[in-house]
């Protein structure tokens, strides 16, 4: 078997180290350079990303190849490089300086080679990110963050375009199969809740008018200083809260009476915060004193009181619709130019909350939920053939699991909002 061709993104030194880091973190998914006489790579070829000392730093797989003249370079091609350029003109100016210093004399007709790729080894935590070209975003929209479900693009005005994808995760893996319309459900439900909570807490939404192909899976938000606390509120005993209770009689430092069981309603709703973990890691449940140590006593009290107030409002709304809001997670941020906290990220979606049908609620056993339970059940069944304990990716989901999961997300949306999903 022929060894993969080398991919050297720059001369050895700080520039190569920086560009390699962008590849390994998923920011840089393309390379645009002067064309050479060597035959170009082909789609499906593997390339070896070369480190500073000539060592293999990663293996990447070619997803697209294109020859383009310097004068015809597009924003889609520039943004996919992930190097933070503000415009095509900015990219060209800086690259021409480098090329001329190397003795080249590029002009509008100079041929370049654009190669798009994705990392295959070491195993990436997240799938390849969408580019401005994938979403047909205008010049100036730059990808700045990718999570399990959402991707963030800086807008030319300095705000943030948040795009909810159809990706789904389970057991700390982002699965290779997507759930159609999931991103639209999450975004539309968050906006529905933001409207109904606005008198309790302001939020980060600037506009629902989105560019390109984003549509109603995205929203334009103000950039916030996000607070390092997952604000979890529990009204029922389940999940990690149940595990804590069985081990200590408490949940995040909150003492509970004996005799509670799986899915028991708590005597009062509890603020049970957690630390924010990096993608691929687990959040850690903490007590209120830890939140005080992280953000200070006044801000900690604001986070607790606001979270409990929002949960109480949402629990009242959902109960009237025959749905139990067992627990949920909020994220808050601060506007550097203004006082107080703002509700951010997603809110009260099936991904951030545990919803149960009130008619079927029976304490003492796990409850069916309006989320990805079908996915988790199938992955851990003999039918999937997946060993959760092994460090191997989960298999693709079968069509029937995808369809049932999509139906559950849509059912949650329609029951809670009272609207037909468009």
Percent of the chain as helix, strand, coil, to the nearest 5: 30, 25, 45
CB 288 within 8 Å of CB 172: no
The structure tokens listed for 308 are: 């409990």
Point out the domain boundary residue: 124, 142, 170: 124
CATH number, domain containing residue 291:
3.30.470.20
pLDDT of residue 278: 62
> 331, 352, 371: which is the final residue of a domain?
371
Asked if residue 256 is part of any domain, the answer here is: yes
> Which CATH number fits the domain that encloses residue 76?
3.10.400.10
In tens, the pLDDT along 73-107 reads 999 999 999 999 999 999 999 999 999 999 999 99
Question: Is residue 314's pLDDT more than 80?
Answer: yes
**Helix H or strand E segment including 308:** helix 297-320
In a domain, 239, yes or no: yes
Q: Which of 181-195, 234-248, 281-295 has the lowest mean pLDDT?
A: 281-295
Distance (Å) of CA 303 to CA 31, 231, 293, 385, 413: 44, 7, 13, 43, 26
What is the distance of C-alpha 148 from the center of its chain? 4
343 part of a folded domain = yes
Q: What's the pTM value of the predicted model, to 2 decimals? A: 0.93
Q: Render pLDDT for 288-301 as a digit per residue (tens, 0 to 9).
A: 999 999 999 999 99
pLDDT band, very low/low/confident/very high, at 172 (cuts 50, 70, 90): confident
Give domain status of residue 182, yes or no.
Answer: no
Write out the residue range of the structural domain in which residue 98 sits. 1-124
């Amino acid at each position: 078997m022929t060894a993969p061709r080398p991919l050297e993104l720059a001369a050895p030194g700080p520039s190569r180290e920086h560009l390699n880091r962008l590849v390994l973190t998923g920011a840089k998914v393309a390379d645009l350079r002067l064309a050479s006489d060597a035959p170009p790579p082909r789609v499906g070829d593997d390339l070896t990303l070369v480190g500073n000392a000539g060592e293999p730093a990663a293996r990447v797989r070619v997803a697209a190849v294109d020859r383009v003249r310097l004068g015809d370079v597009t924003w889609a091609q520039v943004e996919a490089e992930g190097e933070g350029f503000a415009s095509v003109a900015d990219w060209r100016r800086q690259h021409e300086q480098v090329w001329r210093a190397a003795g080249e004399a590029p002009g509008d007709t100079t041929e370049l080679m654009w190669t798009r790729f994705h990392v295959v080894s070491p195993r990436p935590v997240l799938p390849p990110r969408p580019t401005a070209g994938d979403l047909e975003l205008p010049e100036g929209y730059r990808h700045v963050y990718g999570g399990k479900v959402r991707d963030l693009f800086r807008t030319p005005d300095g705000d943030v375009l948040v795009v909810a994808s159809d990706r789904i995760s389970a057991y700390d893996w982002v699965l290779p199969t997507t759930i159609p319309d999931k991103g639209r459900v999450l975004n539309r439900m968050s906006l529905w809740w933001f409207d109904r909570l606005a008198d309790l807490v302001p939020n980060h939404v600037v506009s629902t008018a989105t560019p390109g192909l984003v549509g109603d899976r995205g929203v334009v938000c103000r950039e916030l200083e996000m607070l390092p606390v997952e604000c979890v509120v529990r009204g029922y005993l389940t999940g990690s809260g149940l595990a804590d209770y069985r081990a200590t009689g408490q949940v995040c430092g909150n003492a509970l009476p004996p005799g509670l069981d799986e899915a028991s309603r708590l005597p009062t709703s509890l603020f049970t915060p957690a630390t924010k973990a990096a993608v691929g890691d687990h959040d850690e449940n903490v007590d209120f004193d830890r939140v005080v140590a992280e953000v200070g006593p006044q801000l900690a009290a604001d986070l607790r009181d606001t979270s409990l107030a929002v949960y109480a409002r949402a629990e009242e709304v959902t109960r009237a619709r025959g749905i139990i809001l067992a627990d949920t997670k909020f994220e808050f941020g601060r506007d550097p130019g203004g006082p107080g906290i703002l509700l951010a990220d997603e809110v009260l979606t099936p991904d951030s909350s545990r919803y149960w049908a009130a008619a079927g609620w029976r304490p003492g056993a796990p409850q069916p939920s309006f989320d990805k339970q079908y996915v988790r059940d199938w992955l851990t069944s003999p039918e999937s053939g997946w060993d959760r304990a092994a460090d191997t990716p989960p298999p693709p989901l079968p069509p029937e699991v995808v369809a049932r999961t999509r139906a559950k997300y849509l059912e949650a949306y329609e029951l809670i909002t009272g609207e037909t999903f468009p």
